[in-house]
Amino acid sequence: MNSVIEVLEKYNLKVNKFSYKNTCIILDTDEGKYVLKKKKKNDKKEIYDYLLSRNFSFFLYPESINNEFEIYSYLDEVNTVKEEKAKHLIDVMAEMHVRTTTYKEYSLDEIKEIYEDKKNKINDLKLFYEKLEQKFSEPIYPAPYELLLLTNVSKIYNSLEYGDILLEEWYKSIINNKKRRICLIHNHLSLDHFLDRKDAKIINFDYSKYDSPIYDFVNFYKKHYYELDMISLFNSYQYKYTYTYEELLLLFITIIVPDKLELKKDVSYNTYLINQLIEYIDITRDFILKEQKKYQKEDEEKLNKK
């Protein structure tokens, strides 16, 4: 707390009241409202200055950064429906990717590392769910969540197998075309990290880095797949920033492979968790199949024009 007081004294901020929001402190001062948050390791000032140099200003620039804290002006949002806010965020995300894109070439070691990491994850998950299936099959009267998994475990195996097929296709394709795009990605993107207003702002660049653009959509998808029309949002994003075939495959691989279940002793919680997993698999498979069908249709139209 002493370090917080030192920051306030340094910037002559007289606090009338304060409140906590997640890991931030909201300060109500004579000079207005501010957000005080603990500084992460990455140098965000360098990131912010880079974005400004690329004529991208849809983010909140700090009032001050020291070794321990960052201070931001507190901005209110416009009250909009979730779908409208999501569309606005997707447009801003695409703009950030467009303005920060550069090209590099994969080394063979980098390609193999990505391939092996995803291959190992798929194999580990296969083994994990096989053991879980065997364990849940032992009781004469399985618990509701055990029965739910046993009834739907084939969907999990199908998703893993599908991810494996896509991974092999990606590997064959990328070996022949090592050129890749990287850009600055937020790497933690969700509606919670977007202030929807006339001068829209992406906030919280704590995990930002230079990587494939697909990972921003992956994070957004996994956070909101159940409540938003992802196909419409993805199409809107692709209109502004179209993925290459290899990027599209990498996206599909990354979202189709489900996460490992973290079960507890609570029957209701486990039932909810497994139901959520099955719902995710169904929605994601539908999303990928529709996008692949659209991609194939576009290829057919190109061929017909020749």
Residue range 203-226, pLDDT digits in tens: 999 899 999 999 999 999 999 999
Sequence ranges of the chain with CATH classification 3.30.200.20: 2-73
| H-type alpha helices, 138-224 | 144-176, 214-224
Phi, psi of 74 (to 5 degrees): -90, 125
| Max Cα–Cα distance, the chain, nearest Å | 71
The rounded distance, in Å, linking the Cα atoms of 162 and 285 is: 9
For domain 82-305, which CATH number applies: 3.40.50.1970, 3.40.50.620, 3.40.47.10, 3.90.1200.10? 3.90.1200.10
Nearest one of 183, 126, 181 to 157, comparing CA atoms: 126
Structure tokens at 38: 């603990």
Superfamily of domain 2-73: Phosphorylase Kinase; domain 1 (3.30.200.20)
**What is the length of the chain?**
306
pLDDT class of 303 with cuts at 50, 70, 90: very low
Q: Give the strand order in the sheet containing 15-21.
A: 15-21, 24-29, 32-38, 69-73, 64-65
Sequence ranges of the chain with CATH classification 3.90.1200.10: 82-305
C-alpha distances out from residue 235 to 192, 238, 240, Å: 22, 5, 9
Percent of the chain with pLDDT over 90: 71
Structure tokens at 293: 């069908």
User: Over 70: is that where the pLDDT of 299 sits?
Assistant: no
Lowest mean pLDDT among 1-10, 111-120, 246-255, 268-277: 1-10
Q: Determine the 3-state secondary structure of 35 from DSSP.
A: strand
The rounded distance, in Å, linking the Cα atoms of 134 and 138 is: 7
pLDDT by residue (tens digit) across 158-199?
999 999 999 999 999 999 888 899 999 999 999 999 999 989
The rounded distance, in Å, linking the Cα atoms of 189 and 186 is: 6
